[in-house]
Amino acid sequence: MPEETKDPNPVLPESKSPTTPQPGQAGDAGAPAPVSAAQGPAGNSEASAPSSASAAANSEAAAKPTDSAKPATAASAEKPATLTAPTGEKPAATATGEKAATPVTAKPAAPAAAKPAPKPEGPKPEPWDSDLSRRLRSQYGSGIREASTYLGQKYLVVDSTIIYEILLSMRNDELFDYCVDITAVHYPKREAQFDILYVLYSFHHNERVRIKAQIKDGDHVRTAVGIWETANWLEREVYDMFGIVFDGHPDLKRILMPDGWTGHPLRKDYPILQQDQEWVKINLGIESGQ
Amino acid sequence: MTDSTRTDYLSTEAQERRDSGTMDYLDLDTKDETFLDANEIVLNMGPQHPSTHGVLRVILKLDGEKVLGTECVIGYLHRGVEKIGENRTYAMFNPYVDRMDYVAAVSNGLGYCEAVEKLLNAEAPPRAQYLRVILTELCRIASHQVWLGTHALDIGALTPLFYCFRDREEILKIFEKYCGARLTTHAFRIGGCIYEAYDGFEQDCNKFCDAFVPKLDEYEELLTTNRIWVRRTKGVGILNPEDCIALGVTGPVLRAAGVKWDLRKAQPYEAYKNFDFDIPTGLNGDTYDRYLVRIEEMRQSVRIIRQAVEGLPQGPIMAKVPKVIKPPVGEIYHSIEAPKGELGYFIVSDGSTQPYRVRVRPPSFVNLQALDKMVRGLLIADVVAVIGTLDIVLGEVDR
């Protein structure tokens, strides 16, 4: 997996690294002890006298076996490989060493990954096939856009028009009697700007499922207060923070922000700094230092 | 009604409403009547009221001394924790979560660290997990002690406050020795613990446990069979299991209603599956049962601490997580059993060093919503008892 996805990456640093100054690289890799010490001189010699490149390469080659021997300190050790490679002929050993190693260092800003080479590629959502998801699929068809698990957590992505029906059937048919949380996420660049999210839990099955739907800015959602009383404040908070309106809510008004507040703070385009500066200007009569 | 210093943010509509005096918070049915004709009066309790445990404002609609309805006005302590989270790196946000439920800061940190670890697909090493359990359970006891002291004080028993704070001091000393801070500890890091247990940590914990159990009996001597205590708490603020579940109420409040549900058992996290402990439940779901449940929870916490100290494994205390935390793109919801109920973190990662969204599901916020149902038909004095028994912390309600 990691090699496939990140193979293109190592190529770039290789071609770039001659132009980029080595000091930066050497400084970046300043992690544990002996290897980085060995690497420092190598980098210097490269920069000053290209003729000594072969010597540098040799020292690299000497360093290499230790890399492969203990992948634990890989991140700090790979750096020299990328540095020396372009300077002269690359030994076969370095080339292979690079393949295995550089994908880690190439991506994050060098000091990042110390060890967890396999982690960055991340787990992928897997399709979630169970009685529940099959039942819902047969009932709502394409209304269920996705049923997956991610890191063992189940979630459904549903069409925004059938949120209420899904929630109702989750509550009444599937016995998800406890609405843990309702929240939203704002993606300003997307056409449907908001993800609205319901975290549900079933005491009967000891199981948690997230229901997610994408809605556009200005779209209204039918309230879930009739299904779970707890939705009252949770929806008020979503309204307060994101400006998503819940139709049929008994008392939809701001909950955390003051009554006359303008704007919805958890939207990504909410200008915190500007608000602060304005407030300081109006109330303190000075320019804000921020 | 509105904070007068911030008129610049009032929308014109709100300004009009304020100027015309129609900015009422409670819809009264008595609009046509004059004040004297009305049977019901509206009383404002808080936000600066000693028994609201912070800046909670409750608007009470009363008939004489009987409560007909309430409305909570919250947000006075709103600091925008979730927004802050979006503008900090994962590690930088860690200390902020301590400031939500500031009497149980360790639990907050545990929930957050675990959520990020899950997102990273990492797990704290066994020794770190045991250390975390010990500190979290100590923190649970400390949180319950604050609750008991202030709750008893509200109802009129002065002594338990001093006893509780005296004994809580021992826990804070352990925290201080362990990480240098007493309240907002920042004890855990993503991937494990940063501090090794200090010399004598185990002895200190055992010493605390040995000394604490008799103290717990002392608290009970003061209250459990105290006639005034029983009369003030039995049958007050009843919440039945169905209502609890519908309102999303968790923690001791839910268990006092008879629902045997504790995330430490239902969906064990950390090393909790290794320990033998019971989940105390109540029968009636009233204030007295909630008191008994929390007292018993402290005893169970002592049991857990003893087992964890006994079995504290050797080994590393930090998992192999990168120095700069960049979880892969994805979403996670993770929750733990905080002293007040289910504390959940929903984190969205976009693959960068900062979370794209951090949502905190605070137990106090959700539990507070049950206040209205619990106090209807009771007297004003009982409202004080019910606010106490819900065990809310406004730092967590408002975030």
Q: What integer pLDDT is reported at residue B165 of this predicted model? A: 92
**Option in B3, B359, B366 nearest A183 (CB):** B359
Of residues B6, B248, B259, nearest to A228 (C-beta): B248
Instruction: Decide if B133 contacts B270 (C-beta within 8 A).
Output: yes
Q: How do strand A153-158 and strand B188-189 relate by DSSP bridges? A: unpaired
Per the listing, tokens 């056409």 go with A191
Residue in B121, B359, B365 nearest the CB of A123: B121
Rg, C-alpha atoms of chain A: 28
pLDDT score recorded for residue B21: 59
Domains of chain B: 4-73 (no CATH), 81-398 (1.10.645.10)
| Mutation for A interface: B7, B333, B360, B399, most A CBs within 10 A | B333
Optimal mutation site among B20, B123, B255, B323, interface A, most CBs of chain A within 10 A: B323
User: Phi first, then psi: what are they for B257, rounded to 5°?
Assistant: -80, 0
Q: Band of the pLDDT at B16, cuts 50, 70, 90?
A: low
Residues of A in contact with B10 (CB under 8 A): 260
Q: What mean pLDDT is predicted for residues B153-177?
A: 90
In contact, A129 and B96? CB cutoff 8 Å? no
Mutation site, A230, A232, A269, A284, interface B, largest B CB count within 10 A:
A230
Chain A residues with CB inside 8 Å of B5's CB? 283
Q: Are A194 and A186 in contact (CB under 8 A)?
A: yes
List CB contacts (< 8 A) between A242 and chain B. none
**Among candidates A206, A256, A278 on the partner chain, residue whose Cβ is nearest the Cβ of B398:** A256
Alpha helices by DSSP H, chain B: 12-19, 81-86, 90-97, 105-120, 126-155, 159-179, 201-223, 227-233, 241-246, 252-256, 263-266, 287-310, 363-368, 371-375, 380-390, 394-398
User: Please, is A203 exposed, middle or buried when counting C-beta atoms within 10 Å of its C-beta (0-12, 13-18, 19+)?
Assistant: middle
Using a CB-CB cut-off of 8 Å, the residues of chain A touching B74 are 255-256
DSSP state of B8: G
Asked whether the predicted pLDDT for residue B27 surpasses 80, the reply is no
Among candidates A115, A150, A259 on the partner chain, residue whose Cβ is nearest the Cβ of B331: A150
Q: Which of A181, A229, A258 sits opposite B346 (nearest CB)?
A: A181
Contact A283 B348 (CB under 8 A): no
Are B102 and B399 within 8 A, CB to CB? no
Longest dimension (CA), chain A: 79
Give the model's pLDDT for residue A191: 86
- Given this model, what pLDDT does residue B147 score? 92
Q: What's the token pair of residue B340?
A: 């007040």
Considering only CB atoms, A122 lies closest to which of B78, B330, B342, namely B330
Rounded distance, CA A226 to CA B258, Å? 24
Q: How confident is the model at residue B36 (pLDDT cuts 50, 70, 90)?
A: low
Q: Which run of H or of E encompasses A169?
A: helix A163-172
Measured in angstroms, the CA of B15 and the nearest CA of chain A are apart by: 8
**pLDDT beneath 50: ranges in chain A:** 1-119
- Chain B residues with CB under 8 Å of A265 CB are 80, 83
Mean pLDDT across the stretch B321-349? 89
Classify domain A126-263 by CATH architecture: 2-Layer Sandwich (3.30)
Per the structure block, which two tokens stand in for B266? Answer: 């239902």
Question: pLDDT at residue B143 above 90?
Answer: yes
CB < 8 Å to A171, chain B? none
Q: What is the mean pLDDT of residues B283-309?
A: 91
Is there a contact between A258 and B369 if contact means CB atoms under 8 Å apart? no
In the chain, the amino acid numbered A279 is W
User: What is the percent of chain B with per-residue pLDDT over 90, rounded to a whole number?
Assistant: 35
Distance from CA of A115 to the nearest CA of B (A): 7
Contact A188, A268 (CB under 8 A): yes
Q: What is the mean pLDDT of chain B?
A: 86
pLDDT for residue B140: 92
Q: What is the pLDDT of residue B32?
A: 52
Q: Are A260 and B15 an interchain contact pair (Cβ–Cβ within 8 Å)?
A: yes
Mean per-residue pLDDT for B106-119?
91
Nearest CB partner across the interface for A206, out of B249, B266, B346: B266
Tell me the pTM: 0.73
Over 90: is that where the pLDDT of B138 sits? Answer: yes
Interface test with A, best of B326, B349, B356, B360 (most A CBs within 10 A): B326
Question: Across the interface, do A258 and B2 touch by the CB < 8 Å criterion?
Answer: yes
Averaged over B12-27, what is the pLDDT?
58
The answer to whether the Cβ–Cβ distance between B75 and A256 falls below 8 Å is yes
Name which of B8, B118, B123 to mutate to probe chain A: the one with the most chain A Cβ atoms within 10 A of its Cβ: B8
Q: Residue ranges of the domains in chain A?
A: 2-121, 126-263
Judged by CB atoms closer than 8 Å, whether chains meet at B332 and A210 is answered as no
Residues of A in contact with B366 (CB under 8 A): 230, 233-234
Checking if the pLDDT of B371 tops 70, the result is: yes
Distance CA B99, CA B93 (A): 11
DSSP state of B65: T
Closest CA to B339 of B387, B394, B297, B369: B297
Contact at CB, A210 and B83, closer than 8 angstroms = no
CB contact under 8 A, A115 and B322: yes
Cα–Cα distance, B139 to B298 (Å, whole number): 10
Q: What's the confidence (pLDDT) of residue B20?
A: 66
CB pairs under 8 A between A and B: 156
pLDDT score recorded for residue A143: 77
- Distance from the Cα of A179 to chain B's closest Cα (Å) equals 6
Q: Which residue of chain A comes nearest to B265, CA vs CA?
A: A206
**What is the C-alpha separation between B265 and B260, in angstroms, rounded?**
10
Question: What pLDDT does B35 receive?
Answer: 53
Give how far B202 is from chain A: nearest CA, Å: 32
